[in-house]
Amino acid sequence: MVSVPALRIEPAAPGDHPRIADLTVATYVGGGLASPGYATELADVAGRAARAELLVVRDHDGRVVGSVALVLEGDFGEVTESDDEAGFRMLVVDPAVQGRGIGAALVQECLARARAAGKRRVVISTGTRMTAAQRLYERLGFVRLPERDWTPVPGVDLLVYAREL
């Protein structure tokens, strides 16, 4: 398990879902990173948990301050092309604690779990406006795969990054 001082990363519990939904919608839609039309999918934490390994970061009081959906199997990642690729989606960190390494710790945990599952690569997509996320991914060794960029709906262009394990 990757550790951040005074924080812990662990699987999400169903009781965490409302907090994860609020945090994800507020960060993505409220932060101008996604359209209001995407809020329903962002808020569907139970749906994410059924299709991915949902991880959370808790602060010293046990409050969820970050979350990510790790995709080791299936099509929820939407950018994986083979069984030896994993992905993650909807990485979110509470704005009140951003800049403390929480996002990096979640990504590192995803990489470690993908490696342990026998995956050879982690492939992700990110929005063109998500420049802080792009900097984080590049700092952690992800490289652009522009040939795999895609547009899930008109007006939403996603950039694809990958990290070999």
pLDDT digits (tens, 9 = 90+) for 24-33: 999 988 888 8
81 in a structural domain:
yes
| pLDDT interval class at 69 (50, 70, 90) | very high
pLDDT of res. 156: 81
Distance between start and end Cα atoms, the chain: 17
- The average confidence (pLDDT) of the chain is 90
Question: And the tokens for 72?
Answer: 């080791």
147 in a structural domain:
no
Residue 28 has a CB neighbour count (10 Å cut-off) of: 21
Residue keyed to tokens 């932060």: 31
Residues 6+ apart with CB under 8 A from 142: 122, 124, 161, 162, 163
Q: What is the dihedral sign for C-alpha 24, 67, 89, 11?
A: negative
pLDDT digits (tens, 9 = 90+) for 129-153: 888 899 999 999 999 999 998 888 7
Q: Which of 3-12, 19-28, 52-61, 70-79 has the lowest mean pLDDT?
A: 3-12
139 in a structural domain:
no
126 in a structural domain:
no
3-state class (DSSP) for residue 76: coil
Q: How many domains does the chain have?
A: 1
2 in a structural domain:
no
pLDDT of res. 129: 84
Residue 94, domain CATH: 3.40.630.30
Q: Taking the complete model, does pTM exceed 0.95, yes or no?
A: no
pLDDT for 37 beyond 90: no
pLDDT for 1 beyond 80: no
127 in a structural domain:
no
160 in a structural domain:
no
